[in-house]
A and B are shown apart, each in its own frame.
Chain A
Amino acid sequence: MNYRLIILLSLLFFASPHLNAQSYQDPQHHACLKCHSNQSYSFHNDVTDKEVKRLMNPYYILDTVAISAGVHKSFDCTDCHSSEYEVYPHQATLKLEPLSTCLDCHGGDESYAKYKFEEIQAEVEKSVHHKVYGENFSCSKCHNQHTYAATARNSDNILEIVDYSNKMCLSCHNDMKKYELISGHANPKLVEVHNWLPNQALHFQHVRCIECHTEVVDSLMVSHNILSKDHAVKKCVECHSADSRLKASLYKYENIQKRAENGGLGSVLTNSSYVIGTHQSPFLKLLSIIIFLATITGIIIHSIFRILKK
């Protein structure tokens, strides 16, 4: 493990991040990306002595724009993958080589302490994903190591954070093939399972899946203990009332965070976070409708008398 780390760090030291960023932006001149960023690739077949053009396996196509925006943008492909991949056709045995896991680099390192990787690992081990699928359920199942961006930390747009976070879940939970790869059974119907939830589309846009599907740990920014669906929050009042998870973990955090980063009154006003007022309480909602109807009825009766007595 340390051996890998030393190689990695020395490569990082010698390889210019600027140069790598350049090559991600210019994939046509990159040894790997000239094939792996395109739908198709061409090569010279030495056996038949012909130029061949083939379709790229869609799962091996890389989004170079997302890579250049991701946290690992300063790494080159061969920093993590074997340099023998630079030869085509790739050797079959290369697939069997173990790759570094997240904690191989991020674990036990002071400079990453604030991200609390060890604590996250402990939480993941309690989660339903780990309980059912064990070690196979690695970090990268959710956090794409090629393109991952720390959106929740860096974005000032609540909708972007919600969207980014939910896409991590949906990349499997809304994808039959990827879901079955892990679970071995068919994909649950997300919309049907959440049929009980009013304003479903609006909730999915504004609330992260993890708000209801994790056990909140105050010391972690994002809880990683994904609960089984029987333990998910299923009561409106748990979010929309006194002990509001929604408010605590998103509304207030986002509101303050946005100002800390951008400053100025504008960012306060364009903040799209909001809380529901009296309509949170069914009693007050009913009361307000009754008062409103009573007012209108009073006005109608008064108007009738005015017309009659004119």
Chain B
Amino acid sequence: MVAESPIDQFVIKQVFDVGSLPVTNSAIFMIAILVVASFIMIFGTSSRALVPGRLQSLSELAYEFVASTVRGTAGQDGMRFFPMVFSLFIFVLLSNLIGIIPYTFTVTSHIIITFALAALVILTVILYGLYRHGTHFFHLFVPSGVPILLVPLIVMIEIISFISRPISLSVRLFANMLAGHITLKMFGGFVTMLLVSGSWAAYLAPIPFVFTIALTALELLVAFLQAYVFAILTSVYLNDAIHPGH
């Protein structure tokens, strides 16, 4: 018995076509994210109750959580980017959470998705920074109070650090999701392999099973944490665009 490869869960499968656009499992789960997000945030708030019900509490909680993150990191000025940060947070969070359900597909386990989201953030930072501050935006790379001799070195370091931001932002999320799901799949695979081994080893099967349960709990935490990290780093980078002068 050969166990299914732990990376098969990341394969993009074409389900059907809409015109020339292929509808893949990834696309279906993205649409699922959109549906769930709309259900919670729009259907859940449709009664506009002064005393909220469960779904409305959930939406208000999400709003307050992201709003306080943005406000705390980028200040009141940063609130103009609140809808973007909120959309990113809810997209990443739902993608991560839906991905934990067995036999589903994790949209954010693909580097191209996380990189596209990170690129969106960095492009927003650059474009807004230039729009708001013009060339003053480049003061971001020249911290004040640095001895003139050190300036070229510091500027180089700052530029490298700026360029590495989209990379670290996207790779962090991608690698977390990928590694978590591979680990889950491997421990799950151990359970079946031990069970079908037909020897005394079958009695060891509960051990990886317990690990799988514990890892699922850990993955729930990671799913939330990575979405939060993505949102707060986005706020931090946006803060640079709003206040580049340090």
Q: Do A and B bind each other?
A: no
A interface residue numbers (CB < 8 A to B): none
B interface residue numbers (CB < 8 A to A): none
